[in-house]
Each structure stands twice: as structure tokens, then as C-alpha cells.
Amino acid sequence: MRVKVSKSVLELLEGDITEMQTEAIVNAANARLILGGGVAGAIRRKGGPKIQEECSKIGETFVGGAVKTTGGNLKAKFVFHAVGPQMGEGNEDEKLKNATVNSLNLADENNIKSISFPAISAGIFGFPIERCAKIMLRATIDYLQGQTGLEKVIFCLFGLDSYEVFERQLKQEISK
């Protein structure tokens, strides 16, 4: 599914984020920036050791924050490591919104025109996918309606179930 938001395109795809050819992809990171399982593990395996080496030099970031490394062997030039909340830690909705917006800000700060997101926190961090879709899509739409150089934002969702949740939510958002 693809929609126009102001001067940008917002697109939903079902697939593997490590195969995306956008300038940057977003990693659903932990605060210590250790590439373990889930999205981060896939990025580590396909991107090679350079990404983890750069993460280790950065050290850590806060929940809701985002930092940039190169893309290593990935098709994307950069990986943004956005730290979403773990379910039950408190103030999760705001933290997820901040992880999304801070990634979009990082793209603009680095003159990046295209970025791909996973469903941050909806995997091993236990965040409900419906809530994730609502927060991430609303934050992205609001961001794209402001001043931005971003031309394309893609949500690359792993599995048809996740894609369908985001698709239903995007249809709701654009009908408002």
C-alpha cells in the first residue's frame, strides 16, 4: 500500500528489512546497541561485523533515541538504531513515538531521502502490534506534514499478519 503525505510517499511492504534499498534502514535496537536477535540479529548477520563494531564505539543510547552507523554489507548505506520500549517499562507510547520521530529527524539531519522502518518493539519487546502501528504511522504522518527532505518512508513488515495490521491502521489514518 502506498499513499502520498504532503510531498512524501509513505509505503507499506511485507518483507525482509535487510533487503531494502532505501538509503537508511531502522534497526529495532536495545539501549546497549548489542545486535542480538530479531531485526538486529538479521542486520548483524547480513550487514557483517562492521555495524556491531560501530555500535560498540557509540556505546549506548536512551529508550526513544536513535543513532546512526554505516550499513556494512547491506544494500542500505546507513542503519539507524532506534531503541523502542519494552512492554511494561512505563510511558511506552511516548517512547515509541520518540524512537520513530528521532529516526526521522536523523534522516533529515543527514540529508537522507528514503528510510525503511520495522515494527519497532512489536517483536521480543512485547509491544502490541496494533498499538505499534497506530503510534508509528501517526508520528510519521505528522512528521511528513511538516518541513522534511524525506521523499519516501517505508514500513517493511515481517509477515503478512503484521502487514495487514499496519494496512488497516494506515487506511484509518488517511480517512480522518
Question: What predicted TM-score, i.e. pTM, was given to this entire model?
Answer: 0.97
Which secondary-structure segment (H or E) carries 160? helix 160-174
Q: Digits of tens for pLDDT over the chain (176 positions)?
A: 999 999 999 999 999 999 999 999 999 999 999 998 888 999 999 999 999 999 999 999 999 999 999 999 999 999 999 999 999 999 999 999 999 999 999 999 999 999 999 999 998 899 999 999 999 999 999 999 999 999 999 999 999 999 999 999 999 999 87
2-174 has which CATH code?
Answer: 3.40.220.10
Question: Where exactly are the structural domains of the chain?
Answer: 2-174
Tell me how crowded residue 98 is: count the other CB atoms within 10 A of its CB: 22
Q: What is the largest CA-CA distance in the chain?
A: 44
* Closest residue by Cα to residue 146 from 6, 3, 27: 6
Burial of residue 59, with CB atoms counted within 10 A of its CB: 0-12 exposed, 13-18 middle, 19 or more buried: exposed
